[in-house]
């Protein structure tokens, strides 16, 4: 499986490194507009062709798949050109910068029978897979809340807010683990650097019933935190991605509400404290598993775990979150978009 990679900036080197070591894959070429970045490719991978023109990759009939690791504003254009050239596509997160363009990419990939995988890397880690397994098995009982914190100092983006850069990771994990889709969101935040998008945000996702999810993302924090809490009425999970080994911990803690006939106007809250269990999880790099999954899906002609539809769901949430942010936290419904923007080029017209 010969693969071309577009973009060798922040994330591209990680993708190339893992693809080079993926069974059944060969990185045929890397494209970047910076000759300095391409010099790094030559120094490390002498057999990989380099070019400053990404169209060389689209035109190469021997390249089977394209990986796009460029700013989100370029995702739709590059993704569409790759699909129109009948290449399979691995797109870095988020899928595109609008739900309409994302829907067009998803439809085009389906019509051309091409694999479209979105780089939601954390879903391929052993820790998140174990959490999914525990939740699906009913270990936590009825889910009550999902709470995540993803903060650190930098890396500031100029084209997208911290929601599109950091929150998309936690939204992808939430979307994978929770059985239901979010119905509405409310977001607040601030932009502390003039001319830059929001660098700090708090995002709340509302679901049917009493399940609620909250995400805190921040580029201005003095410490790095990557922690998620998932609470159920039976047990609770703490997921700390910065832990070297015990990334997932399952706590047998909770509360029970009791009431008796003798206390008609008073409810008694009982606190339950039990053991903590840290299950063994695979520490294989998520990106390595994702790269192999991409190749395997192309060979077998099957839908990826993080397919275009998953990417589209997250873009819809992010769009609603940005609208709520503009309205200073007013809840915004997440609308289901089925139509395609007529102003966007479809396959064969770009």
Domains and CATH numbers, the chain: 2-121+286-307 (3.40.50.720), 126-277 (3.30.360.10)
Report the C-alpha gap between 145 and 150 in whole angstroms: 17
Using DSSP, state whether 235 is helix, strand or coil. Answer: coil
Question: DSSP 3-state helix, strand, coil percentages of the chain (rounded to 5)?
Answer: 35, 30, 35
Judge whether 206 and 185 are in contact, CB under 8 Å. Answer: yes
pLDDT at 154: 81
Task: For residues 211 and 232, give the distance between their C-alpha atoms in angstroms, rounded to a whole number.
Answer: 10
Among the residues of the chain, which ranges form H helices? 12-20, 35-44, 55-59, 75-84, 99-111, 126-136, 162, 168-177, 286-300, 308-326
β-bridge pairing 65-68 and 88-92: parallel
Q: Pick the closest to residue 169 from 239, 206, 122 (CA basis).
A: 122
Q: Phi first, then psi: give them for residue 133, nearest 5 degrees.
A: -60, -45
pLDDT score, position 144:
96
Alpha-carbon distance of 160 to 10, in angstroms, equals: 15
Q: Report mean pLDDT in 10-residue bins for the chain, 350 residues.
A: 97 98 97 98 97 98 98 97 98 97 98 98 98 98 97 87 97 96 97 92 96 97 97 96 96 73 58 86 97 98 97 98 96 68 47
Prediction pTM value: 0.91
Cis peptide before 65 (omega within 30 of 0): no
Given this model, what pLDDT does residue 95 score? 98
Q: How many residues does the chain have?
A: 350
pLDDT value, residue 342: 42
Residue 53: predicted pLDDT: 98
CB 132 within 8 A of CB 177: yes
pLDDT at 103: 97
pLDDT at 340: 42
Cα–Cα distance, 235 to 262 (Å, whole number): 30
Q: What is the distance between the alpha carbons of residues 31 and 38, in angstroms, rounded to a whole number?
A: 7
pLDDT score of 155: 82
Q: What does the block give as tokens for 16?
A: 């190339």
298: tokens are 């192309």
Helix (H) or strand (E) holding 300: helix 286-300
CB 186 within 8 A of CB 252: no
Q: Where are the beta strands (DSSP E) in 181-219?
A: 184-190, 200-206, 212-218
Q: What contacts 342, CB < 8 A, 6 or more positions away?
A: none
């Amino acid at each position: 499986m010969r693969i071309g990679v577009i973009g060798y900036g922040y994330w591209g080197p990680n993708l190339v490194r893992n693809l080079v070591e993926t069974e059944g894959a060969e990185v045929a070429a890397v494209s970047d507009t910076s000759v300095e970045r391409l010099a790094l490719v030559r120094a490390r991978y002498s057999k990989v062709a380099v070019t400053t023109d990404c169209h060389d990759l689209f035109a190469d009939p021997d390249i089977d798949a394209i990986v796009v690791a460029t700013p989100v504003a370029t995702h739709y254009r590059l993704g569409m050109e790759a699909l129109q050239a009948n290449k399979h596509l691995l797109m870095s997160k988020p899928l595109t910068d609008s739900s309409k363009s994302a829907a067009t990419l998803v439809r085009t990939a389906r019509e051309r029978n091409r694999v479209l995988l979105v780089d939601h890397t954390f879903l391929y880690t052993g820790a998140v897979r174990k959490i999914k397994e525990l939740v699906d098995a009913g270990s936590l009982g009825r889910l009550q809340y999902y709470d995540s914190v993803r903060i650190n100092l930098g890396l500031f983006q100029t084209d997208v807010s911290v929601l599109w850069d950091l929150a998309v990771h936690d939204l992808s994990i939430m979307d994978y683990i929770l059985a239901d889709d979010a119905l509405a969101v409310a977001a607040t935040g601030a932009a502390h650097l003039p001319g830059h998008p929001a660098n700090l945000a708090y995002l709340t996702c509302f679901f049917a019933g009493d399940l609620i999810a909250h995400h805190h993302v921040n580029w201005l924090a003095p410490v790095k935190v990557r922690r998620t809490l998932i609470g159920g009425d039976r047990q609770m999970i703490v997921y700390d991605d910065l832990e070297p080994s015990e990334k997932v911990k399952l706590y047998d803690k909770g509360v029970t509400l009791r009431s008796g006939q003798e206390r008609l106007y008073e409810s008694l809250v009982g606190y339950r404290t039990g053991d903590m269990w840290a299950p063994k999880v695979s520490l294989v790099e998520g990106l390595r598993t994702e790269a192999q999954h991409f190749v395997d899906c192309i060979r077998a002609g099957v839908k990826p775990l993080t397919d275009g539809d998953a990417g589209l769901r997250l873009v819809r949430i992010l769009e609603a979150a940005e609208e709520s942010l503009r309205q200073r936290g007013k809840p915004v419904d997440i609308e289901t978009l089925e139509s395609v923007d007529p102003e966007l080029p479809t396959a064969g017209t770009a």
